[in-house]
């Protein structure tokens, strides 16, 4: 299978792709999230991996917008514990490092470590692993990368400091995406139970419309694990809602959606899939 990821080999997206699909895959490496849905829609890849939220930094709203705009389907989810390591050419020590180049999200998640090292200049880059690769290929001294241990192994760099993330319990949720909509059945092709769903809806312009929808979920004993609002660009002060649901009873879930469809202006099932813990 050919899988689109944000970043290159050694990136966290690469680790997730192998976790979900196995190691026998071909990667299509993208330096921006906006490239991923285009590759899917043009059938240049079979599937894709895209980060959607982090336990520290929160939701990645532009990625919700991309999934919605290109009408992609969620095939699955993966939660990955994120460990950020500081790495450089072998023989380099922390006192030799003048600058650290990395993805802005990685820098944000390691802010306390760098607060204790104000002499190090932080430079934002498009991908963690790509910086690691560049340091090795160009033999750049005095520069370090923040990346996974896998990146250090692949690009033969030395880890100067382990686990420099501010909060040690740091996790990112990734969506596995397809261009085709999944079948509306309680199990997937592998026979795995679909026990989670992601939906989008736009409420009607009347008082209590959101409460009515949430009340339907409550009466059908359907738990929500996330609710995310996003502005509708062409309509001022109007919002779409993205909700993740746990499915204990597929029939109750379908009945709830049937009732909600009558209450909202627009309803879309983005994906039904097996929950990942």
**Do residues 73 and 177 touch, judged by C-beta distance below 8 A?**
yes
Q: What is the pLDDT of residue 27?
A: 97
Supply the pLDDT for residue 42.
96
| DSSP secondary structure letter of residue 98 | -
Q: What global pTM score does this model have?
A: 0.91
Instruction: Check whether 205 has a pLDDT greater than 90.
Output: no
pLDDT 10s digits, 62-80: 999 999 999 999 999 999 9
196-271 homologous superfamily: ACT domain (3.30.70.260)
Provide the pLDDT confidence category of residue 259 given band limits of 50, 70 and 90: very high
2-80+171-178: CATH number: 3.40.190.10
Cα(12)–Cα(176) distance, integer angstroms: 13
Residue 137 DSSP SS3:
helix
Q: What is the pLDDT of residues 2-29, one digit of tens each?
A: 999 999 999 999 999 999 999 999 999 9
Task: Specify the domain boundaries for CATH 3.40.190.10 within the chain.
Answer: 2-80+171-178, 85-161
* CATH fold label, 85-161: D-Maltodextrin-Binding Protein; domain 2 (3.40.190)
Antiparallel, parallel or unpaired: β 239-246 and 223-231: antiparallel
Alpha-carbon distances of 218 from 87, 101, 202, 206, 268, rounded to whole Å: 49, 47, 19, 20, 19
Are 209 and 158 within 8 A, CB to CB? no
**Distance from chain centroid for Cα 111:** 21
How many whole angstroms separate alpha carbon 90 and alpha carbon 123? Answer: 21
């Amino acid at each position: 299978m050919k899988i689109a990821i944000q970043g290159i080999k050694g990136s966290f997206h690469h680790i997730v792709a192998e976790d979900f699909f196995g190691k026998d895959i071909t990667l299509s490496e993208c330096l921006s999230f906006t490239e991923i849905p285009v590759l899917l829609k043009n059938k240049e890849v079979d599937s894709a991996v895209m980060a959607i939220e982090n336990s520290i930094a929160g939701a990645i709203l532009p990625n919700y917008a991309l999934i919605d705009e290109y009408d992609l389907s969620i095939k699955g989810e993966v939660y990955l514990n994120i460990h950020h390591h500081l790495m450089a050419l072998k023989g380099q020590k922390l006192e030799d490092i003048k600058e650290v180049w990395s993805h802005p999200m990685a820098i944000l998640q390691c802010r306390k470590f760098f607060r204790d090292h104000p002499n190090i200049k932080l430079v934002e880059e498009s991908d963690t692993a790509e910086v690691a690769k560049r340091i090795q290929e160009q033999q750049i001294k005095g520069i370090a990368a923040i990346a996974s241990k896998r990146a250090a192994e692949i690009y033969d760099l030395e880890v100067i400091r382990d686990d420099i993330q501010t909060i040690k319990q740091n996790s990112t949720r990734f969506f596995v995406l397809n261009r085709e909509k999944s079948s509306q059945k309680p199990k997937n092709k592998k026979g795995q139970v679909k026990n989670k769903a992601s939906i989008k809806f736009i409420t009607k312009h009347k008082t209590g419309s959101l409460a009515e929808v949430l009340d339907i979920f409550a009466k059908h004993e359907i738990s929500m694990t996330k609710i995310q609002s996003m502005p509708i660009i062409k309509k001022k002060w109007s919002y779409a809602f993205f909700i993740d649901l746990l499915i204990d009873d597929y029939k109750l879930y379908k009945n709830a959606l049937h009732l909600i469809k009558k209450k909202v202006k627009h309803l879309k099932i983005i994906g039904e899939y097996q929950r990942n813990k």
